[in-house]
Structure 1
Amino acid sequence: MRIVDIREVTKPIASSIRNSYIDFSKMTTSLVAVVTDVIRDGRPVVGYGFNSNGRYGQGGLIRERFRDRIINADPGSLLNETETNFDPHRIWDAMMSNEKPGGHGERSVAVGTIDMAIWDAVAKIEGKPLFRHLADIHGREANPRVFVYAAGGYYFPGKDHSSLRAEMRSYLDRGYNVVKMKIGGVTIDEDRARIEAVLDEIGNEAQLAVDANGRFDLETGIGYAKMLREYPLFWYEEIGDPLDYALQAAMAEFYDAPMATGENLFSHQDARNLLRYGGMRPDRDYLQFDCALSYGLVEYLRTLDVIKAAGWSSRRCIPHGGHQMSLNIAAGLDLGGNESYPDLFQPYGGFPDGVHVEDGHITMPDLPGIGFEGKSDLASVMKELAE
């Protein structure tokens, strides 16, 4: 049993949308296929992965560093103890050999992308959906019903309040009961008007979350907090620089309602520092660590250990990224839910064909692996890379 090839292609996910910090006009993602010599249904098992939006494709790091460490490793060293499957933890160790600690940067995205494909292959070899495999190996009961919220509300050329309202209405029509919009890309008065337009549209049918994408300094973050606390928001997200724990801690003095952050922290050490120094409150706040950006599920399991040790419930984790990998983790390891992009970053966002949102939740289908093959537009792109 061995991994015979790891293939990467950099794909565009460009769009005219922007948040408070970046536009997506040149955004890319890495798509990876891990090809094995294990045969199922007459064909080699192939695991697939890709990195989340907001970070660019990682082709250089994947091809020049991490791929060859796996391919050149002793095949037996990458297997589990019974030699019946690959061991993602041992493969992770092989990828990270000769890497210094700290300085996570872009390498965490490259490793996370390959790690996703490894777990996809492992679950396919087991003949199970990944979420059921995760529940089994961790002694849990899988829960296929997962909370999802609709992420949108980006700034877009010519997008007025009526367009914003129509977008949010479309999410409600598709079954969502929590929606999210961007703030911080215009003046505070303009954002107030945008927020009020959305709240007027959704009424008591849904809740609204807002996301500053790390744009604010402390003074601006406080100014927004004083404005936002007038409204019944689901959360106030990523207020300042993700590594400015003092700013995040200070915000709790001005904003009593839920806050959320963590999508741009890339290791369990970063997560531990956030919980130690960021003033996050386990009774109301949310953690958004994204395995695809932070060294993959192997590292995410360490992060969950850190969260537990700090007295937090895994239910306070609602990952960033809107991908099926985090959906599987949520269903298998009892997270609080997952982000969703109903219309954006296709074909990588969204759910398998036939999966619909009902009362803010989806039910995971029983598809082998992560379930990518159940999404026809994504499956065709992946198959092209594998073959």
Structure 2
Amino acid sequence: MPAAQVLTNQSSKIARAEVRLIDIPLESARGGSGATQLQVAIVTVTDKDGASGTGYTYTLGPGMAAIVALLEELHLPAIVGMETDQWDQEWYRMRDITHRLGDSVPLLATSAVDIAIWDLRAMRQGMPLYRLLGSQREQVPVYGSGRATHTMTTAQLIEGAVSYVEEGFSAVKLRIGARRPEEDLSRVAAVRKAVGDDAGIMIDANERLDLPTAQWFAPRLVELGVRWFEEPLKSRHLDAYRVLNAGVTPPLAIGEHILGLSAFSNYAGVASVWMPDVPLTGGVSEFRRIDALAEAHGMVVTPHFLPELHVHMVAAGRATTWLEHFPLLDELLSETLEIKEGWATPPDRPGHGLRWDQEKIERFTVRCEKFGS
């Protein structure tokens, strides 16, 4: 929004809301999950002055129809006619209403609306989102995560890691758990040799290991100078994480499968790296609370995926450290985040600054519902 169009009133009444269900077949398997399908719900909220904000949530595979159904039944009818400064109270009301449904579907639905409202708030102020949230830094370090999969050969893993280092990234992430432990360890060692001792290496097991295998890996990863050991076990196995953390291990990292503040609180003192995903864990509002909790306990936060949105969270957070480079939404964006020498700067435009490719959104939309006038 140009400076001349800045709307100085912080609050505004929401006049219209829309949700689109988008289903995209991915050309190749992504990351450690091997996902070949991406479903996205994009929520747009428009106020009485015509200012708009967008938010979203996603699933790697099917299931988004359930989130969209809840948005249509509960969230979007509730916010039409609402003043945006009432959302902070409404967020908790939505949680209380859906309490018996658990955290997954309700929090994903709430996340999409929450992001859209924060985007609208920043748009009205003519400010980038990270500045509205309270900027702590102007640039954030980025680690390379999008060039390593289980299906790659060791030579391909090395090529991807080396390319990141040559582009100025100071750390890369590799994935283990889909092959024999000895083979995975050999692949990590080969990458370490190729990138040298100065480059950071993070290891993500995508919850594929059992406790004995994780205990076998952990001290060997320490010997290879691994910076953190991400999701070695199922996130629901909290006691197993406590056992693993009591032994010799790199710092443990958790978060992409943990939803909401209370779930993260269980890991204080168990996993020192927290990786919340804003479109899944409750939106910008809940991320801020998770960041505050992490700061209080001396943990660090590095969001999962989605650099175009999460660059604002890392720039505004107190406990935040790294931004993850992983291309997930590229098929729906007309512009991706620019990274120079391993550093990223939040876009200097109002709101979160995501620029959606409207032609592709229309092409992959399978459902669209509108509320309000």
* TM-superposed deviation, 1:325: 2.3
Quickly say closer, same or farther: Cα 1:71–1:227, change in 2 above 3 A. closer
Question: Between Structure 1 and Structure 2, which shows a larger proportion of strand residues?
Answer: 2
* TM-score, normalised via structure 1 length: 0.81
2:8 match: none
Whether 2:62 is the aligned partner of 1:50: answer no
Partner residue in 2 for 1:189: 182
Deviation of residue 53 (structure 1)? 5.8
Residue identity matched to 1:128: M
Q: Is 1:286–2:279 an aligned residue pair?
A: no
Question: CA separation in 2, counterparts of 1:379 and 1:368?
Answer: 19
For 2:298, the aligned partner's letter is: W
Q: Residue 14 of structure 1: which of 13, 17, 26 is its match?
A: 26
Hey, what does 2:3 align to over in structure 1? none
User: Which residue is 1:155 aligned to?
Assistant: 150
Contact 2:294 2:301 in 1 (8 A): no
Q: Specify whether residues 344 and 304 from structure 1 end up closer, same or farther in structure 2 by C-alpha distance, changes over 3 A only.
A: closer
Counterpart AA for 2:116: A
Q: What is the correspondence of 1:332-343 to structure 2 with a 5 Å cutoff? A: 332-334=316-318, 335-341=320-326, 343=327
Q: Report if aligned partners of 2:173, 2:202 keep a CA contact under 8 Å in 1.
A: yes
> Is the counterpart of residue 328 in structure 1 residue 312 in structure 2?
yes
2:128 aligned with 1:143, yes or no?
Answer: no
Letter in 1 for 2:104: G
**What code does the residue aligned with 2:78 have?**
A
Asked if residue 2 in structure 1 is aligned to residue 2 in structure 2, the reply is no
User: Which ranges in structure 1 are unaligned for 5 or more consecutive residues?
Assistant: 81-86, 136-140
Q: C-alpha offsets along residues 280-328 of structure 1, whole Å, 9 cap, x if unaligned?
A: 3xxxx3111212111212222332343344x225xx1001123322211
CA distance 1:326–1:127, shift in 2 (3 Å): same
Contact 1:182 1:211 in 2 (8 A): yes
Which residue pairs with 2:288 in the alignment?
301
- CA–CA separation in structure 2 for the residues paired with 1:154 and 1:266: 25
Aligned-residue CA RMSD (Å) = 2.8
Q: 1:356 corresponds to which letter in structure 2?
A: I
Q: In 2, Cα distance between the equivalents of 1:379 and 1:142?
A: 32
Structure-2 residue corresponding to 1:66: 71
Matching of residue 123 in structure 1 with residue 110 in structure 2: no
The aligned residue for residue 340 of structure 2 is 357
Distance in 2 separating the partners of 1:52 and 1:176: 27
SS at match of 2:47: strand
The partner residue of 1:251 within 236, 244, 249 is: 244
Listed one character per residue, the Cα deviations across residues 70-98 of structure 1 (whole Å, up to 9, x for unaligned) are: 44337554332xxxxxx442442454452
| TM-score, normalising length: structure 2 | 0.84
Letter in 2 for 1:148: V
- 2:7 match: none
Gapped runs of 5+ residues in structure 2? 1-12
Task: Return the alpha-carbon distance in structure 2 between the equivalents of residues 382 and 146 of structure 1.
Answer: 29
Which of 29, 33, 42 is 2:43 aligned to? Answer: 33
Q: Please tell me the residue identity of whatever aligns with 1:73.
A: A
Measured in 2, the distance between the counterparts of 1:189 and 1:31 equals: 40
Give how far 1:18 is off.
Answer: 5.9
CA contact (8 A) 2:221 2:250 kept: no
Q: What does the per-residue CA deviation read over 1:93-129, in whole Å, with 9 as the maximum and x for residues that have no partner?
A: 4544521257212332222123222221221122110
Q: Matched residues in 1 for 2:107 and 2:276: separation?
A: 12
Q: Secondary structure at the match of 2:112?
A: helix
- The DSSP-based 3-state class of the residue aligned with 2:54 is strand
1:13 CA drift (Å): 5.1
What secondary structure sits across from 1:242 in the alignment?
A: coil
Asked if the contact 2:332/2:360 (under 8 Å) is kept, the reply is: no
Change (3 A) 1:33 1:77: closer
- Rounded Cα–Cα distance in structure 1 between residues aligned with 2:343 and 2:60: 25
Distance (Å, rounded) in 1 between the aligned partners of 2:169 and 2:77: 46
Contact 1:30/1:50 (<8 A) preserved: yes
Spell out, residue by residue over 1:157-198, the C-alpha distance to the aligned partner (whole angstroms, 9 max, x if none): xx3222111111221233211100110110011112211221
Q: Percent identity?
A: 23
Say if 1:258 and 1:70 are closer, same or farther in 2 by CA, change over 3 A: closer
Describe the SS at the equivalent of 1:293.
Answer: helix
Instruction: Report if aligned partners of 1:67, 1:95 keep a CA contact under 8 Å in 2.
Output: no
SS of residue paired to 1:35: strand
Cα 1:121–1:379, aligned 2, differ >3 Å: closer, same or farther?
farther
What displacement does 1:227 show? 2.4
